[in-house]
Homo-oligomer: A and B are copies of this chain.
């Protein structure tokens, strides 16, 4: 590997000058800069991130803490999309991304220790148990953090508009003439709480009393679980005319149970999902759902994190709401009042 010394030798200048020329210091003459840059290119010079980090204390590396997809209750594709967007934006802003795990050299350590070991400039946290001790330790450390879909004091977070989203989605059903609207929510979490909140609000705004037997819990991303809840709902003496599912994928469980009973969507029963992933538009019938703007969420997280990293003193913790949109499908039927 060519180093700065090799170049300095080839150019007949000192390593210091090479470094400065390469990094655009103004004190180096135009000719020297040109010479150095040219030889660097010719010799296929690449700076060494480690050496640079050692001296500058900047790794240009941001950690991502995304708990593994299958174990997490939340929608797999939604987080994959966020991760992808995080990656793209990070690249654009000059950062690489590394997964933060609880291992170093095969030994178990805390997330924070891992971050320090790799000297991450900052960390994006999503899709984890935010109330677990190792996560809290990291959040409360000196490491710049941005969380997604969870709020901590004094920590910036990017929030998908779960309250608004579910409120609008519920309102959409109400405006289509539904009064008996069931909501199958996912397992307890702050996201779930917000969606419930939105659901209740929409009902309240339209003066529809809440029926507790229409509010059931299932597990995110688990069609079997939603299938079971759908069964419960349809077995009620007075079944709902619309069912809201925890996420798009869970809708598949709904389809199964609804189909089993010979009912059809949306003629006999209306349904909605949540997420707005590709699946929603290719199932039959296409699902009316709330699209969460995963791209924007990923982008904003990194932008905010980088801002925090690069202007640590002036940058303030901020809660950023990213709004989604209603994605109309063919799974909701308008009922006459």
Interface residues, chain A, CB within 8 Å of chain B? Answer: 1, 46-51, 53-54, 59-61, 68-70, 73-77, 80-81, 83-84, 87-88, 91-94, 96-99, 101-106, 113-114, 116-119, 223-224, 249, 252-253, 255-256, 259, 278-279, 282-284
Known contacts A106-B94, A113-B46, A284-B256; is A87 also within 8 Å of B101 by CB?
A: yes
Q: Are A98 and B97 in contact (CB-based, < 8 A)?
A: yes
For this complex, 9 residue pairs linking A to B, each with C-beta atoms less than 8 Å apart, are A1-B116, A50-B51, A50-B53, A94-B106, A96-B118, A97-B99, A249-B279, A252-B279, A253-B282
A45 to chain B, nearest CB (A): 10
Contact of A76 among B80, B93, B101 (CB under 8 A): B80
Contact of A77 among B53, B59, B76, B83 (CB under 8 A): B76
A293 to chain B, nearest CB (A): 14
Contact of A103 among B91, B113, B116 (CB under 8 A): B91
Inter-chain contacts of A255 with B (CB < 8 A): 284
Whole-angstrom distance between the alpha carbons of A282 and B279 in the complex? Answer: 13
Known contacts A59-B50, A119-B49; is A224 also within 8 Å of B68 by CB?
A: no
Q: Are A69 and B80 in contact (CB-based, < 8 A)?
A: yes
Whole-angstrom distance between the alpha carbons of A103 and B104 in the complex? Answer: 26
Inter-chain contacts of A259 with B (CB < 8 A): 284
Whole-angstrom distance between the alpha carbons of A253 and B256 in the complex? Answer: 18
Inter-chain contacts of A1 with B (CB < 8 A): 116
Known contacts A87-B101, A283-B252; is A118 also within 8 Å of B49 by CB?
A: yes
Contacts A46-B117, A60-B105, A98-B98 known; list 11 others, CB within 8 Å.
Answer: A49-B119, A50-B119, A70-B84, A74-B80, A92-B103, A96-B99, A96-B101, A96-B114, A97-B98, A223-B282, A252-B282
A292 to chain B, nearest CB (A): 14
Inter-chain contacts of A77 with B (CB < 8 A): 75-77
Inter-chain contacts of A87 with B (CB < 8 A): 68, 74, 99, 101
Whole-angstrom distance between the alpha carbons of A77 and B74 in the complex? Answer: 9
Q: Which 3 A-B residue pairs are closest in the complex by CB-CB distance?
A: A223-B282, A94-B106, A94-B105
